[in-house]
Amino acid sequence: MYNPHLETFLIVADSSSFSKASQKLFISPTAVIKQINLLENEIGFPLFYRDNKGITLTDAGKSFYNDVTYLVQYVKDSIARAKSVEKKNSHAIRLGTSIMTPCQFLLRVWNSVQQYCPEIKFELISFENTAENAREILNNLGKNIDIVANIYDNNFLKENHCNALELTKESICVAVPMYHPLAQKDIIDIKDLYGENLMLIRQGWNSYIDCLRDDLLKYHSRINIIDFQFYDIDIFNYCESSGNLLMAIGNWRNIHPLLKVIPVNWDYTIPFGIMYSLEPSKDVKKFIKNIKKVYQN
């Protein structure tokens, strides 16, 4: 590593003041002066002219400044490149997480999975939950993010060019604003939904939700279905502010503090699992194999 006093030198030169440099470095002016003195003694020539008006670089100091600027940046870039290589060679699996893609599933099985692959670690990668981001991430799994957990169907996987491992069949529930009369219930009867506005994601997004929609329109026409385009926090906010009900799953119960996710006494379910690349890395393959063991036991 280079001499750490070199960075102090650059900051002093840029600040043209020991006291201003000390504020940036969060140390005393005396400590800054001591570092510069030690550096000058080590290299054998003065770097600054010092007088009552302040400090300025000597001619040698100007030459030294140009080379040190390059040297410090080169070392920082070298460290960044080395870290990147190390990350590629590590056993870290990058788990995408957003408001709609919770990673609680991993907490439930972590101890068991660790028994099979103790060398694998996880890095959480946060992303903003937008339609554009979702498409970009799913179509490029394995590049910046390895795994994302959410609901899906086969058409969803084909459109987004990814694989999935089903972990559970989640019961389709309803999110209800806390002030709504139905929020007092622990389970909702389908007839409780008569006269209510039920928000369902658009036709064609998921075949399991399409099946629910078709049956409600056919057999329970007194439920008013409202379509929307994409699951994001705005939809949950709108559900709470409008008094409408929203189709949800149990894994989303903590998304909005003023909504209660309540089961309904029907038999509609939807697959929930982890999505990964069509050509997963060796570590991802191993993780998928072993988390499958845990869920099947």
The pLDDT tens digits of the residues spanning 121-151 come to: 888 888 888 888 888 999 999 988 999 999 9
Q: Is the pLDDT of residue 231 over 90?
A: yes
Residues 272-293, mean pLDDT to the nearest whole number: 91
* Cβ-based neighbour number of residue 130 at 10 Å: 12
List Cα–Cα distances, 154 to 102, 148, 275, in angstroms. 21, 16, 11
Predicted confidence (pLDDT) per residue in 233-267, tens digit:
999 999 999 999 999 999 899 899 999 999 999 99
The owner of tokens 């959410």 is 150
Mode of pairing for the β-strands spanning 245-248 and 173-177 = antiparallel
Write down the pLDDT at residue 47.
94
Mode of pairing for the β-strands spanning 162-171 and 269-277 = antiparallel
Residues 57-81, mean pLDDT to the nearest whole number: 88
- Predicted TM-score (pTM) of the model is 0.68
